[in-house]
C-alpha cells in the first residue's frame, strides 16, 4: 500500500508543554518556548507536533480539566502566541495536532457551573446526574480511574454526578444533542484557526451504559491492585454507541480536508481496531499502545506485531508508540541499551511512529521526592507506582543551571543525569542515542520501503527479533537483539545500513552476521 497522506508518512512527536521550554521564567514551559525549539524538531526529522492540553484550566489534572475549550491558559500564552506558533509550524512544513478532551470538563467550566445550579437548568442533562440509591449511596459501583467511587454527591441539587477521573472532572453526557453540537463547535473553532487534527483523550470511555448497570468484579484483581482495577469496566467503557460518535467527529474533521483524528484507546487489539470504524470512517489512527504493555522479549514482540497486522481492517494504516505522558519512560522500562533497539523498532515498523519528547535523548523516569509530587494519580493512591510525574520532567537542553529549560525553579525536578544527558551534549557525541534517532529518521525518510513497504517475515530467532521491509526492488532486513548476549544469525549476504551502535555502516557480510549485546541492525539485502 502506497502511503500518500501526511499522517502516514510523517512521524508524530508529543510535546508535554509544561516541560518542553519555559520562556517567561515561571518554571513551566509555554508556547513561545515550543516556538524557539521548532528548529530542533526539524533537525530531528519529525513531522507532526502533538501538544498536550494548553487550554484554560484549574490544573487539577494538569490541563486535562478544561474550563474553556476555546481559549489558552495564561501559563502557556495567548491565542496570538498560538497563532504565531501554528504559522511557524506550517512555515516549516510541519503539522500541529491539539489535544481534545471531550469526556469531561473541569468542574469550573461554565457548562458545569450551570448544570449543577439546579435540576431545571437547560444544561443539567449535559452531565451525568443520578439519584442516590435508597440508602443514600451512589447509583452504582463505577469507579474513578484515580481511585475511589466515580460518583460525587451534590448537596445543592441532591443528586450524584459521575466522574471517570477526579471529582473536579465531571463526565459529560454525549447523548445530549446540544452538548454534542457544542463539542463539535470546539473542533470547528480550532480547525478554523488551521490546526491539522486532534488527539482525542480517552476515546473509548466517552459513552456509558444508559441504564447505569453495575460493573462485575474483575477476577484478576488482587489486594495490591489499584482500586480502579477491582471491577471490569463493562458498562462504562467501550460501549457500542461510541463508534457512531467517532464517525461524526471524523466527518467534522473531513469537512476541512486531510485532517488527523488520533484516538487514545487502551483496549485489547481485537477491540482497538474497531475504532478505525466502518469503512475506515472512524479514528484515522486509534493509538496502538501495545508495545508499552508487551513483555520486552523477541517472541512476545514478534507475536504482537503479527497479531496487530493481522487484525487491521483492510486498508487501515498501523501506528506504534513507545511512551507518552502517562507511561513510564521506555529507557527506564527496558534500560538504556535496549532503548536504542526500541528506537530502531519504532522507526522501522510499518505505520506511523509517535515519539514522546525526550525519548530521543534517552530520558529516564526521574524519582520525585515526596514533597515535590504533583500528580493527583500519585496523591490519591500513593505508593502504587501510578504517579506520572517521573515521565513528565523538564527537557534537558544543555548543561546550564536548570538545563536551559528555565531560569527559575522548574515545576518538576530535572533528572540527576541532565548535565550529561542533554541535547547539546548528545548532539556532539557521534554515537549518542540522539544521533541514532536522527540517523534512523533520515534513513526512513529517504527509503520508501521503510515507509510504504510491505512488512514480512516477522519472527523471533531466539533473542533476535527479525522482519523485512520491501518495496519496488528495495529489500531491508531488520535484526534486533533483545538480549545482552552476543548473537549470530544466518543471512545470505547484505550490507549494514545502520547499527544501533552507529559504527558499522556499509559493512558487508556473507552467510551470517553477528549482533553484539542489545544491537539492532538495518541491513540492505538487495
Ligand atoms: C488521559 C490523559 O492522557 C491523562 O493524562 C489524563 O489524566 C486522563 N486522560 C484524564 O483526562
Tell me which of 3.50.30.30, 3.40.640.10, 3.20.20.80, 3.60.21.10 is the CATH number of domain 6-106+177-436: 3.20.20.80
DSSP letters of 320-344?
Answer: EES--TTS--HHHHH-HHHHHHHHH
Q: Is 328 exposed, middle or buried (0-12, 13-18, 19+ CB in 10 A)?
A: middle
| Domain covering 110-162, topology | Oligo-1,6-glucosidase; domain 2 (3.90.400)
Q: Is the CB of 202 under 6 A from ligand 1?
A: yes
pLDDT for the residue 147: 87
pLDDT tens-place string over residues 180-205: 999 999 999 999 999 999 999 999 99
Percent of the chain with pLDDT over 70: 100
Is residue 270 pLDDT above 90, yes or no?
A: yes
Cell of 483: 538480549
State how far the Cα of 298 lies from the Cα of 296, in Å rounded to an integer: 7
Mutation to probe ligand 1, out of 50, 51, 202, 226 (largest number of atoms < 8 A from CB): 202
pLDDT tens-place string over residues 321-347: 999 999 999 999 999 999 999 999 999
Distance of CA 521 to the CA centre of its chain: 26
Give the residue whose CA is nearest to atom 6 of ligand 1. 64
Q: Is the CB of 171 under 6 A from ligand 1?
A: no
Q: Report H helices in 109-175.
A: 110-115
Q: Is the CB of 201 under 6 A from ligand 1?
A: yes
pLDDT tens-place string over residues 274-293: 999 999 999 999 999 999 99
The helix (H) or strand (E) run that includes residue 471 is strand 464-471
State how far the Cα of 191 lies from the Cα of 97, in Å rounded to an integer: 10
The pTM (predicted TM-score) of the whole model is 0.98
Is residue 512 pLDDT above 90, yes or no?
A: yes
Taking the centre of ligand 1 as the mean of its atom positions, its distance from the CA of residue 319, in whole angstroms, is 20
Tell me which of 2.60.40.1180, 2.40.440.10, 3.30.420.40, 3.90.380.10 is the CATH number of domain 454-524: 2.60.40.1180
Query: Whole-number mean pLDDT of the chain?
Result: 97
pLDDT confidence band for 490 (50 / 70 / 90): very high
| Alpha carbon distances (Å) from 346 to 85, 207, 365, 391, 456 | 28, 32, 20, 19, 16
**Residues 368, 385: contact at Cβ < 8 Å?**
no
pLDDT for the residue 319: 98
pLDDT tens-place string over residues 494-509: 999 999 999 999 999 9
pLDDT confidence band for 141 (50 / 70 / 90): very high
pLDDT for the residue 486: 97
State how far the Cα of 498 lies from the Cα of 438, in Å rounded to an integer: 11
What amino acid positions are annotated as catalytic residues? 201, 264
DSSP-derived 3-state class of residue 90 = helix
Q: Is the CB of 101 under 6 A from ligand 1?
A: yes
Q: Is the CB of 65 under 6 A from ligand 1?
A: no
Distance of CA 95 to the CA centre of its chain: 16
pLDDT for the residue 227: 80
Give the residue whose CA is nearest to atom 2 of ligand 1. 201
Taking the centre of ligand 1 as the mean of its atom positions, its distance from the CA of residue 201, in whole angstroms, is 7
Bridge partners (DSSP) of residue 117 are none
Taking the centre of ligand 1 as the mean of its atom positions, its distance from the CA of residue 478, in whole angstroms, is 34
Give the residue whose CA is nearest to atom 5 of ligand 1. 326
251-260, 372-381, 406-415: least confidently modelled range = 372-381
State how far the Cα of 149 lies from the Cα of 397, in Å rounded to an integer: 42
Q: Which of 496, 492, 401, 381 is nearest to 439 (CA)?
A: 496
pLDDT tens-place string over residues 205-258: 999 999 999 999 999 988 888 887 899 999 999 999 999 999 999 999 999 999
pLDDT for the residue 524: 97
Q: Report H helices in 73-176.
A: 79-91, 110-115
Q: Where do the structural domains in the chain lie, given as residue ranges?
A: 6-106+177-436, 110-162, 454-524
Q: Is the CB of 266 under 6 A from ligand 1?
A: no
**Residues 246, 283: contact at Cβ < 8 Å?**
yes
| Alpha carbon distances (Å) from 226 to 6, 103, 115, 381, 386 | 39, 22, 31, 8, 8
Sheet holding 48-51, edge to edge: 285-286, 260-263, 197-200, 95-100, 48-51, 12-15, 352-356, 319-321
Amino acid at each position: 500500500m502506497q502511503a500518500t497522506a501526511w499522517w502516514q508518512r510523517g512521524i508524530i512527536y508529543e510535546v508535554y508543554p509544561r516541560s518542553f521550554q519555559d520562556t517567561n521564567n515561571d518554571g513551566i514551559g509555554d508556547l513561545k518556548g515550543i516556538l524557539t525549539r521548532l528548529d530542533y524538531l526539524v533537525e530531528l526529522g519529525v513531522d507532526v507536533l502533538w501538544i498536550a492540553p494548553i487550554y484554560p484550566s484549574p490544573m487539577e489534572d494538569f490541563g486535562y480539566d478544561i474550563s474553556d475549550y476555546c481559549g489558552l491558559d495564561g501559563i502557556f500564552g495567548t491565542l496570538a502566541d498560538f497563532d504565531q506558533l501554528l504559522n511557524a509550524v506550517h512555515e516549516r512544513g510541519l503539522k500541529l495536532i491539539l489535544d481534545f478532551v471531550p469526556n469531561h470538563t473541569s468542574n469550573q467550566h461554565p457548562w458545569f457551573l450551570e448544570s449543577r445550579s439546579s435540576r431545571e437548568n437547560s444544561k443539567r442533562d449535559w452531565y451525568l446526574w443520578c439519584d442516590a440509591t435508597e440508602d443514600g449511596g451512589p447509583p452504582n459501583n463505577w469507579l474513578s480511574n484515580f481511585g475511589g467511587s466515580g460518583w460525587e454527591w451534590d448537596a445543592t441539587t441532591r443528586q450524584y454526578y459521575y466522574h471517570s477521573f477526579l471529582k473536579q472532572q465531571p463526565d459529560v453526557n454525549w447523548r445530549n444533542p446540544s452538548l454534542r453540537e457544542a463539542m463539535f463547535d470546539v473542533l470547528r473553532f480550532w480547525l478554523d484557526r488551521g490546526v491539522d487534527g486532534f488527539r482525542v483523550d480517552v476515546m473509548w470511555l466517552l459513552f456509558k451504559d444508559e441504564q447505569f448497570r453495575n460493573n462485575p468484579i474483575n477476577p484478576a484483581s488482587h489486594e495490591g491492585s489499584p482500586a480502579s482495577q477491582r471491577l471490569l469496566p463493562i458498562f462504562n467503557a467501550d460501549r457500542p454507541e461510541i463508534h457512531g460518535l467517532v464517525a461524526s467527529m471524523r466527518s467534522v474533521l473531513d469537512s476541512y480536508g486531510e485532517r488527523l483524528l488520533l484516538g487514545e484507546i487502551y483496549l485489547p487489539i481485537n477491540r482497538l481496531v474497531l475504532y478505525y470504524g466502518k469503512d475506515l470512517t472512524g479514528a484515522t489512527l486509534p493509538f496502538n499502545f501495545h508495545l508499552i504493555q508487551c513483555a520486552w522479549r523477541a517472541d512476545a514482540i514478534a507475536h504482537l506485531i503479527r497479531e496487530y497486522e493481522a487484525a487491521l481492517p483492510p486498508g487501515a494504516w498501523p501506528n506504534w508508540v513507545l511512551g507518552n505522558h502517562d507511561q513510564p519512560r521506555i529507557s527506564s522500562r527496558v534500560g538504556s541499551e535496549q532503548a536504542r533497539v526500541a528506537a530502531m523498532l519504532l522507526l522501522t515498523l510499518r505505520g506511523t511512529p509517535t515519539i514522546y519528547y525526550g525519548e530521543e535523548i534517552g530520558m529516564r523516569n526521574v524519582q520525585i521526592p515526596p514533597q515535590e509530587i504533583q500528580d493527583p494519580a500519585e496523591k490519591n493512591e500513593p505508593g502504587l507506582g501510578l504517579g506520572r510525574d517521573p515521565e513528565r520532567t523538564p527537557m534537558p537542553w544543555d548543561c546550564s543551571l536548570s538545563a536551559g529549560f528555565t531560569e527559575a525553579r522548574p515545576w518538576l525536578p530535572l533528572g540527576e543525569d541532565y548535565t550529561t544527558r542533554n541535547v547539546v551534549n548528545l548532539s556532539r557525541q557521534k554515537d549518542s542515542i540522539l544521533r541514532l534517532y536522527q540517523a534512523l529518521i533520515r534513513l526512513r525518510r529517504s527509503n520508501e520501503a521503510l515507509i510504504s513497504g510491505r512488512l514480512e517475515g516477522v519472527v523471533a530467532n531466539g533473542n533476535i527479533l527479525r522482519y523485512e521491509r520491501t518495496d519496488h526492488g528495495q529489500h531491508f532486513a531488520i535484526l534486533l537483539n533483545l538480549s545482552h548476549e552476543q548473537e549470530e544469525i544466518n543471512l545470505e549476504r547484505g550490507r549494514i545500513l545502520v547499527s544501533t551502535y552507529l559504527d558499522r555502516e556499509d559493512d558487508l557480510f556473507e552467510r551470517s552476521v553477528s549482533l553484539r549485546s542489545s544491537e539492532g541492525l538495518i541491513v540492505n539485502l538487495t
